[in-house]
């Protein structure tokens, strides 16, 4: 008999003391500690006083029956093994008790050797159940922890994506000094409209990225055309227009930007089909690109140009009304017009007229932007 087993404690419950006395003594000789009770109520009291590994209870007792005790003990001490003791005639009820949660049953008069063996087996079973439960609990905790770690990792990857995106944008800014503040503002304007249109978080992300990188293809346009002062010749215009395809080719190969690349390709399309490069009409144009068209016009009109001062937001709204159904999707136009002018003014103030490369002074705005890009 091992040291650990010697500490196992059994509670014996029977209104006839002689019954538990005999089994108790046998258990004692086998290295168990035991305690005898004459009623269910007394047993419950005893369970509160000291820990037990097993209960052997008579089925038929005055007051609380064995089944009553089983129910209570199970509720309060689910890890204690329970063995129901019955007369030979009650074995059907004893089997029923097992369905109620008893671990085994003993038939009276006890065969002492088998009774001790049954107690030992029931305790072992109980402790295995407990271990299994702990393991399961541990497993759940582990899964939860791993899920949290995965979420953090995903967030980091997402951030790395946005850094990449920033780097791409910065590469363009080096050449086209007009795009820095423009790309940010257009991206934020798009987000406002897209949100108001009920776009999903995934769509919002795609639209923000597509809008931010819409002109990335200008990286591939020669300086002589991109930076030319004055009007472009028709040939130069044709080359300039290839920026949408260059941008698309560039981004569609980057998995996390592939969906945004559709917006880049279509950002010069018009609702009436007069745009380029494919002359798509209506809903053939991706929603993000239809939203972008309005955001782009809004920003172009309300920004200073070498040849004119920035126009008021009201003028841009009037242009959207005028071009609704021609350049712009009427549904998107309606949603845009329903939003307060203050929305756009706030974004313009927040982003400012940043040009060129990101500097320390732009960091707050930078963070605000990055946060926007990571939303949802």
Which residues bind to Fe ion, rule: CB under 5 A? Answer: 215
Of 8 and 266, the one with the shorter C-beta distance to Fe ion is 266
Of 90 and 215, the one with the shorter C-beta distance to Fe ion is 215
Of 256 and 276, the one with the shorter C-beta distance to Fe ion is 276
CB of 218 to Fe ion, least distance (A): 7
Contact 58, 13 (CB under 8 A): yes
- Helix 313-323 × helix 341-351 angle, to 10°: 120
CB of 191 to Fe ion, least distance (A): 19
Of 31 and 273, the one with the shorter C-beta distance to Fe ion is 273
CB of 150 to Fe ion, least distance (A): 37
CB of 143 to Fe ion, least distance (A): 47
Contact 208, 237 (CB under 8 A): no
3-state secondary structure of 55: strand
CB of 301 to Fe ion, least distance (A): 15
Q: How far is residue 315's CA from residue 327's CA, in Å, rounded to a whole number?
A: 16
Of 215 and 269, the one with the shorter C-beta distance to Fe ion is 215
CB of 240 to Fe ion, least distance (A): 9
Q: How far is residue 150's CA from residue 129's CA, in Å, rounded to a whole number?
A: 31
Nearest residue to Fe ion, using CB?
215
For residue 349, give both structure tokens.
């103030």
Q: How far is CA 370 from the centre of its chain?
A: 20
What spatial distance separates the first Cα and last Cα of the chain, rounded to whole Å? 62
Of 194 and 293, the one with the shorter C-beta distance to Fe ion is 293
CB of 235 to Fe ion, least distance (A): 18
- Return the number of other C-beta atoms located less than 10 Å from residue 10's C-beta: 27
Contact 124, 117 (CB under 8 A): no
Q: Which positions ≥6 away from 208 have C-beta within 8 Å?
A: 187, 188, 190, 191, 372, 373
Of 162 and 215, the one with the shorter C-beta distance to Fe ion is 215
| DSSP codes joined into one string, 323-374 | HBTTTB-HHHHHHHHHS-HHHHHHHHHHHTT--SS--GGGHHHHHHHHHHHH
Q: How far is residue 260's CA from residue 283's CA, in Å, rounded to a whole number?
A: 17
Which uninterrupted H or E stretch holds 63? none
CB of 277 to Fe ion, least distance (A): 11
Contact 86, 105 (CB under 8 A): yes
Of 58 and 173, the one with the shorter C-beta distance to Fe ion is 173
């Amino acid at each position: 008999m091992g040291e650990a087993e010697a500490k196992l404690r059994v509670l014996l419950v029977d209104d006839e003391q002689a019954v538990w006395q005999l089994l108790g003594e046998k258990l004692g000789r086998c290295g168990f500690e035991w305690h005898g009770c004459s009623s269910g109520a007394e047993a419950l009291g005893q369970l509160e006083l000291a820990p037990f590994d097993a209960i052997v209870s008579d089925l038929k007792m005055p007051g609380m029956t064995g089944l009553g005790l089983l129910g209570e003990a199970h509720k309060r001490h689910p890890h204690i093994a329970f063995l129901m003791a019955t007369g030979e005639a009650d074995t059907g009820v004893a089997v029923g008790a097992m369905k109620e949660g008893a671990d085994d049953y003993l038939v009276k008069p006890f065969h002492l050797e088998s009774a001790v063996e049954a107690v030992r087996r029931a305790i072992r079973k109980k402790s295995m159940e407990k271990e299994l439960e702990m393991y399961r609990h541990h497993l759940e905790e582990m899964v939860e922890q791993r899920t949290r770690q995965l979420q953090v990792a995903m967030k980091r990857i997402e951030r790395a994506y946005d850094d990449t995106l920033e780097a791409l944008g910065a590469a363009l800014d080096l050449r086209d000094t007009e795009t820095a503040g423009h790309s940010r503002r257009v991206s934020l304007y798009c987000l406002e409209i897209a949100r108001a249109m009920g776009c999903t978080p995934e769509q919002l992300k795609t639209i923000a990225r597509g809008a931010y990188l819409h002109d990335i293809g200008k990286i591939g346009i020669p300086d002589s055309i991109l930076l030319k002062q004055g009007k472009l010749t028709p040939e130069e215009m044709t080359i300039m227009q290839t920026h949408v395809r260059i941008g698309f080719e560039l981004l569609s190969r980057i998995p996390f930007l592939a969906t945004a690349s559709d917006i880049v390709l279509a950002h010069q399309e018009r609702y009436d089909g007069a745009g380029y490069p494919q002359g798509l009409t209506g809903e053939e144009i991706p929603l993000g690109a239809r939203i972008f068209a309005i955001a782009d016009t809004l920003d172009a009109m309300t920004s200073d140009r070498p040849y004119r001062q920035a126009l008021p937001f009201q003028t841009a709204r009037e242009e959207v009304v005028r071009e609704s159904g021609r350049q712009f999707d009427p549904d998107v136009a309606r949603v845009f017009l329903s939003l307060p002018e203050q929305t756009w003014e706030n974004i313009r103030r927040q982003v400012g007229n940043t040009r060129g490369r990101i500097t320390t002074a732009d960091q707050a705005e930078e963070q605000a932007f990055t946060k926007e890009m990571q939303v949802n």
